[in-house]
């Protein structure tokens, strides 16, 4: 397929194509900015411009920390990727860049509040204060720094090794040697290109998810480096994660992955990448990082970074209020891209709090100046994408071997699931444990035995 930039204009477009009931959580003009379906996976990229660091002012005042906490609480992404975190000098406070451990502690304060081990006192502004039921329990700050800041991934879902190389968190690309369209050997550039492998719940999704995050080199003189990094990222996705159509990882042996991956990603596991890529290539007329990372060398060819080697899609998200595409002033520097043969976009949008009061998310109300929150938070605006991921097959209740029926061949798998769930999961990796929840109480247990027997004996 051709690479596509997807335009989402806001409420008017969607009213004509979605049922009214699906709008319960998405109606920005009424202050509703949530997902249309709870199973959608919302990914948000945000350059926080030094607003999250250990020495940040963490009060409920007109400051970046407070604004960022309310904006994240308003959008409630399932996966949040951030750039320019951990810089204590950039916001006027001394101390240099946070270590990865310090930044992870700081991100915990940002989410949950508590006693501040860096400045003393108690954190007054934090995400769960404004969205009490919302959580991103898995927090990872990159060990790669340019001497000023770090990138980070925060997730609703746990990290887990998905391709057998024992690594679930990769702070930077492994060394990739020149090959195919990779012009120069190297890694992810001065700030690294981090990848996290996320384990999604099997009862909800057919596959899992890989997230990439980067802050590419800035300024016009960085175009060459941005392209070189983008070529390596495209190669890493196509050749290592997807196998370049061969079914095995790194078929040309050009990726120094140690230990080496033993398998490619599962068919239903998409790769989603994003970050501050520092180039508005739609306006500058150049093939930049967004195009390289989504289409590789040939638009519409067979070397793309989607699972089927077609082209991935990158967003053309807009502000639903005014249809503007700029994420840094009038320039679009921040992107999300996804494998659209696996993940389907429901919507993508840019959030800017410069809105009429009726549009304010409820979590933003209470900020000293809600319309100014985005400008106080950062010089960038976040890009948000709601993605529909493949659902798992629907097996009949009691079908413990997932052959599509319920019969005496399910007895041994049922007993195994009841007595040794780990061995059952290894023996039947694509078969949900909760197929054995015959009494419908949400868990597999001994109270399911009699209903299971009854199910077997009453089956036609």
Q: Determine the pLDDT at residue 432.
A: 86
For CA atoms 85, 88, 89, 91, give the dihedral sign.
positive
Domain that holds residue 413: 408-458
Claim to verify: residue 381 and residue 422 sit in the same structural domain: no
pLDDT at res. 219: 86
Band of the pLDDT at 6, cuts 50, 70, 90? very low
Assess whether 146 and 183 both reside in one domain: yes
Does residue 192 lie within any of the structural domains? yes
Please provide the average confidence, as pLDDT, over all residues in the chain. Answer: 92
300 pLDDT tier (thresholds 50, 70, 90): very high
CATH code, domain carrying 171:
3.60.10.10
pTM for the model: 0.87
> Per-residue pLDDT for 19 more than 60?
no
Cα–Cα distance, 228 to 209 (Å, whole number) = 25
The pLDDT tens digits of the residues spanning 42-86 come to 999 999 999 999 999 999 999 999 999 999 999 999 999 999 999
209-215 vs 271-276, strand pairing mode: parallel
Query: Is 418 found in the same domain as 375?
Result: no
* Domain termination residue (choose one: 360, 388, 416): 388
**Residue 202 pLDDT class (50, 70, 90 cuts):** confident
Query: Is the confidence at residue 400, as pLDDT, over 90?
Result: yes
Any domain includes 401: no
Residue 346 lies in a domain: yes
Put the strands of the sheet holding 383-388 in their side by side order. Answer: 138-141, 150-155, 79-85, 41-47, 383-388, 344-350
Give the pLDDT of residue 406.
93
Q: Are 153 and 212 members of one domain? A: yes
Q: Does 88 share its domain with 33?
A: yes
Is 333 in the same domain as 429?
A: no
Give pLDDT, residue 17: 33
Residue 88 lies in a domain: yes
The answer on 295 and 375 residing in a single domain is yes
What pLDDT digit, counting tens, does each position of 232-259 carry? 999 999 999 999 999 999 999 999 999 9
pLDDT band at 92; cut points 50, 70, 90: low
Whether residue 383 is found in the same domain as residue 420: no
- Asked whether residue 262 is assigned to any structural domain, the reply reads yes
Same structural domain, 381 and 449 = no
Determine, yes or no, domain membership for 128.
yes
pLDDT tier, 22 (very low <50, low <70, confident <90, very high otherwise): very low
Q: Which residues of 360-384 are buried (b: 16+ CB within 10 A; e: fewer)?
A: bbebbeebeebbebbebbbebbbbb
**Burial status of residue 40 (CB atoms within 10 A of its CB: 0-12, 13-18, 19 or more):** buried
- Contact criterion met (CB below 8 Å) for 207 and 270: yes
Residues 307, 426 within the same domain: no
pLDDT at 91: 65
**How crowded is residue 60: how many other Cβ atoms within 10 Å of its Cβ?**
17
Regarding whether 224 and 275 lie in a shared domain, the answer is yes
**Number of independent structural domains in the chain:** 2
Residues 53 and 180 both lie in one domain: yes
Residue 443 lies in a domain: yes
Whether residue 112 is contained in a domain is answered as yes
The radius of gyration of the chain's CA atoms, rounded to the nearest angstrom, is: 23
The CB density around residue 89, as the number of other CB atoms within 10 Å, is: 16
pLDDT tens column, 129-164: 999 999 999 999 999 999 999 999 999 999 999 999
Residue 21 reports pLDDT greater than 70: no
Please tell me the least confidently modeled range out of 18-22, 54-58, 234-238, 277-281.
18-22
Q: Which helix (H) or strand (E) holds 67?
A: helix 64-75
Please state, for a pLDDT cut of 90, what percent of the chain lies above it: 86
> Which residue do the tokens 């990726």 mark?
255
């Amino acid at each position: 397929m051709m690479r596509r930039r997807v335009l989402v204009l806001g409420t008017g477009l969607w009213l004509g194509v979605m049922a009214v009931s699906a709008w319960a959580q998405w109606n920005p003009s009424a202050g509703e900015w949530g997902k249309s379906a709870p199973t959608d996976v919302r990914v948000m990229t945000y350059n926080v411009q030094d607003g999250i660091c250990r020495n940040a002012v963490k009060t409920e005042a007109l400051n970046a920390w407070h604004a960022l906490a309310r904006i994240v609480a308003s959008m409630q992404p399932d996966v949040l990727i951030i750039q320019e975190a951990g810089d204590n000098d950039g916001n006027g406070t001394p101390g240099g860049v946070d270590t990865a451990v310090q930044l992870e502690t700081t991100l915990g304060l940002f989410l949950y509040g508590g006693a501040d081990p860096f400045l003393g006192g108690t954190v007054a502004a934090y995400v769960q204060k404004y969205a009490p039921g919302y959580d991103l329990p898995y927090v990872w700050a990159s060990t790669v720094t340019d001497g000023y800041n770090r990138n980070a991934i925060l997730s609703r879902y746990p990290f887990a090794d998905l391709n057998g190389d024992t690594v679930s968190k990769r702070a930077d690309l492994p060394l990739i040697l020149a090959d195919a369209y990779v012009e120069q050997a190297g890694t992810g550039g001065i700030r690294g290109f981090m990848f996290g492998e996320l384990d999604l719940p099997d009862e909800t999704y057919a596959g899992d998810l890989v997230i990439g995050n980067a802050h590419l080199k800035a300024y016009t003189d960085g175009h060459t480096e941005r392209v070189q990094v983008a070529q390596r990222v495209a190669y890493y996705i196509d050749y290592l994660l997807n196998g370049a159509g061969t079914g095995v990882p790194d078929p040309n042996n050009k990726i120094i992955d140690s230990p080496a991956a033993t398998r490619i990603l599962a068919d239903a596991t998409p790769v989603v990448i994003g970050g501050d890529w520092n180039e508005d290539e739609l306006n500058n007329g150049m093939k930049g990082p967004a195009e390289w990372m989504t289409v590789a060398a040939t638009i519409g060819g067979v070397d793309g970074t989607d699972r089927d080697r077609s082209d991935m899609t990158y967003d053309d998200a807009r502000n639903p209020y005014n249809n503007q595409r700029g994420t840094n002033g009038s320039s679009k520097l921040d992107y999300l891209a996804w494998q659209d043969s696996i993940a389907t976009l429901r919507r993508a949008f840019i959030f800017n709090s410069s809105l009429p009061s009726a549009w304010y998310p409820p979590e933003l109300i209470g900020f000293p100046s809600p319309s100014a929150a985005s400008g106080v938070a950062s010089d960038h605006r976040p890009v948000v994408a709601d993605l529909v991921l493949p659902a798992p097959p629907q097996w009949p209740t009691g079908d413990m071997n997932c052959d599509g029926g319920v019969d005496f061949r399910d007895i041994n798998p049922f007993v195994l699931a009841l007595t040794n769930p780990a061995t059952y999961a290894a023996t039947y990796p694509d078969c949900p444990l909760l197929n054995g929840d015959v009494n419908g109480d949400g868990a597999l247990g001994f109270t399911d035995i009699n209903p299971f027997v009854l199910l077997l004996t009453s089956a036609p």
